[in-house]
């Protein structure tokens, strides 16, 4: 029996973040959702998603009985206990549908599975994410929960005496991390610095903040909290309440707030985003994939898909959604929605150029697209997803 995170139609709400990946692969706090479930259950996790994305992931034996968990569910002790207690053909559900169930032959639709299993608990207080802005809205809470788990597993390395430190008990420094001549203020939240990460001199870090493995925080950076800087990412300037995913760069001055940046993105020098309307009204995200507007609350910057690059000195509007693999440039305040594979504001990439430019950026960090990733990008491109 395997434990499988499965995608439901909720995955499409996260356009464009999950256009080229399972929701389980999205980073929240220190871990991806898949990694967080692996830590919580201490067992390997597989991913089950839409057919066009499944080649990215390990093959699943559909004839065996498995324990399935909705990828939009965030682990907590209560729900973990209920999930592990499930017997064959039993399920837990809430208003959004199945939370978890144990069954074989998952080739059936969810509605067919509903008919064949017994709902033993209709739980309405499970912690779910159902919209992209939820990722940065609950990042503070998740960072603290994951930090508490980490410090029970291993001990922090010593913090260099060159730093100004407030509440060192809320700071974790992993091996080979380089943090010198910085201000680390963990008075109101945790600070996690991953293996081989570098925080250059003069940086000011306020918790909660996670700077992951091999990430680089450039000199004089200001991070205000509830922020995750992904693995091998580069960050600089002024950052608040945002998630910058693995291998992405915001390497120069400029403001980023209340935003989610996908993997392998680049934000040019001097680029700023607005995260609050001048009249402080509610912010609505328009999602091209579902042709709907969703209320994101009072603060929301930009949701950016993987492989997208934004030119220097760009002005990103409040509540913006940028698709995957875009080369964004234009005069004045940029549009709130930019379609996948856009070149500038009015043209579209050629597919061959999409792959060439992505691989150029990946080569810079010693990587390249896999065959499966190329197939997925081609599918998205050809089908105008």
Rounded Cα distance between 23 and 17, Å, is 8
Contact present, 205 and 168 (Cβ < 8 Å): no
Q: Which residues of 321-359 are buried (b: 16+ CB within 10 A; e: fewer)?
A: bbbbbbbbbeeeebbbbbbbbbbeeeebbeeeebbebbe
What's residue 77's pLDDT? Answer: 86
| Mean pLDDT, residues 293-316 taken together | 97
Query: Of 103, 130, 157, which closes a domain?
Result: 130
Q: Give Cα separations from 254 to 205, 237, 238, 240, 265 (angstroms).
A: 16, 5, 6, 11, 15
Q: Verify that 122 and 175 share a domain, yes or no.
A: no
Q: How confident is the model at residue 307 (pLDDT cuts 50, 70, 90)?
A: very high
Q: Verify that 82 and 162 share a domain, yes or no.
A: no
Q: Verify that 84 and 139 share a domain, yes or no.
A: no
Q: Considering the chain, what is the average pLDDT of its residues?
A: 93
Burial class (CB in 10 A: 0-12, 13-18, 19+), 376: buried
pLDDT surpassing 80 at residue 99: yes
pLDDT in tens, 194-252: 999 999 999 999 999 999 999 999 999 999 989 999 999 999 999 999 999 999 999 99
| Mean pLDDT, residues 46-56 taken together | 95
How far does Cα 342 stand from its chain's mean position? 22
Rounded Cα distance between 174 and 197, Å, is 8
Residue 208, preceding peptide bond in cis (omega within 30° of 0): yes
Q: Verify that 106 and 160 share a domain, yes or no.
A: no
Rounded Cα distance between 114 and 32, Å, is 28
Rounded Cα distance between 352 and 149, Å, is 44
Smallest Cα–Cα separation from 70: which of 43, 51, 96, 44?
96
Query: Of 130, 145, 168, which closes a domain?
Result: 130
Q: Verify that 164 and 118 share a domain, yes or no.
A: no
Q: Give Cα separations from 308 to 28, 311, 368, 372 (angstroms).
A: 20, 10, 16, 19
Q: Verify that 172 and 307 share a domain, yes or no.
A: yes
Q: Verify that 372 and 259 share a domain, yes or no.
A: yes
Q: What CATH number is attached to the domain comprising 247? A: 2.160.10.10
Give, for 148, the enclosing helix (H) or strand (E). Answer: helix 139-153
Lowest mean pLDDT among 59-73, 147-161, 254-268: 59-73
- Of 186 and 121, the structure prediction assigns the larger pLDDT to 186
Structural domain of residue 251, as residue ranges?
Answer: 134-382
- Pairing assessment for the beta strands 66-70 and 27-28 based on DSSP bridges: unpaired
Q: What CATH number is attached to the domain comprising 49? A: 3.90.550
- Pairing assessment for the beta strands 97-103 and 90-94 based on DSSP bridges: antiparallel
Give, for 111, the enclosing helix (H) or strand (E). Answer: helix 110-116
Query: How is residue 188 annotated by DSSP?
Result: S
Query: Of 84, 101, 130, which closes a domain?
Result: 130
Q: Give Cα separations from 22 to 43, 89, 118 (angstroms).
A: 19, 25, 27
Query: How is residue 159 annotated by DSSP?
Result: P
**Quick count: other Cβ atoms within 10 Å of Cβ 118?**
11
Rounded Cα distance between 368 and 58, Å, is 19
Question: How many distinct structural domains can be found in the chain?
Answer: 2
Measured between its terminal Cα atoms, the distance across the chain in Å is 34
Q: Verify that 125 and 142 share a domain, yes or no.
A: no
Q: Verify that 374 and 303 share a domain, yes or no.
A: yes
What's residue 59's pLDDT? Answer: 85
């Amino acid at each position: 029996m395997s434990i499988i995170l499965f995608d439901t139609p909720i995955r499409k709400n996260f356009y464009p973040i999950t256009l080229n990946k399972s929701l389980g692969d999205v980073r929240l706090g220190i871990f991806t959702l898949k990694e967080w479930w692996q830590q919580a259950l201490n067992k390997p996790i597989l991913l089950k998603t839409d057919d066009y994305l499944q080649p990215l992931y390990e093959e699943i034996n559909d004839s065996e009985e498995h324990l399935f968990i909705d990828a939009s569910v965030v682990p907590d002790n209560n729900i973990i206990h209920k999930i592990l207690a499930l017997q064959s053909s039993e399920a837990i559900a809430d208003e959004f549908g199945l939370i978890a169930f144990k069954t074989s032959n998952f080739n059936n639709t969810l509605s067919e599975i509903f008919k064949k299993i017994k709902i033993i608990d209709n739980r309405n207080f499970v912690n779910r994410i159902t919209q992209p802005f939820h990722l940065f809205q609950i990042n503070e809470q998740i960072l603290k929960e994951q930090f508490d788990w980490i410090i029970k597993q291993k001990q922090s390395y010593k913090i260099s005496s060159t730093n100004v430190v407030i509440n060192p008990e809320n700071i974790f420094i992993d091996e080979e991390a380089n943090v010198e001549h910085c201000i680390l203020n963990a008075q109101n939240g945790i600070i996690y610095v991953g293996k081989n990460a570098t925080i250059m001199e003069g940086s000011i870090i306020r918790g909660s903040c996670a700077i992951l493995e091999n990430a680089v925080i450039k000199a004089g950076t200001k991070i205000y909290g509830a922020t995750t800087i992904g693995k091998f990412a580069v960050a600089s300037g002024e950052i608040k309440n945002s998630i910058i995913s693995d291998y992405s760069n915001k390497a120069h001055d400029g403001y980023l707030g209340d935003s989610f940046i996908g993997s392998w993105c680049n934000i040019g020098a001097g680029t700023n985003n607005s995260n609050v309307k001048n009249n402080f009204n509610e912010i609505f995200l328009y999602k091209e994939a579902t042709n709907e507007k969703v209320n994101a609350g009072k603060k929301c910057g930009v949701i950016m898909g993987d492989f997208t690059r934004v030119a220097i000195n760009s002005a990103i509007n409040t509540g913006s959604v940028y698709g995957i693999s875009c080369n964004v440039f234009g005069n004045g305040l940029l549009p709130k929605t930019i379609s996948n594979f856009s070149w500038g504001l009015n043209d579209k990439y050629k597919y061959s150029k999409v792959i060439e430019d992505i691989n150029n950026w990946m080569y810079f960090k010693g990587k390249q697209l896999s065959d499966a990733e190329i197939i997925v990008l081609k599918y998205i491109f050809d089908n105008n997803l």
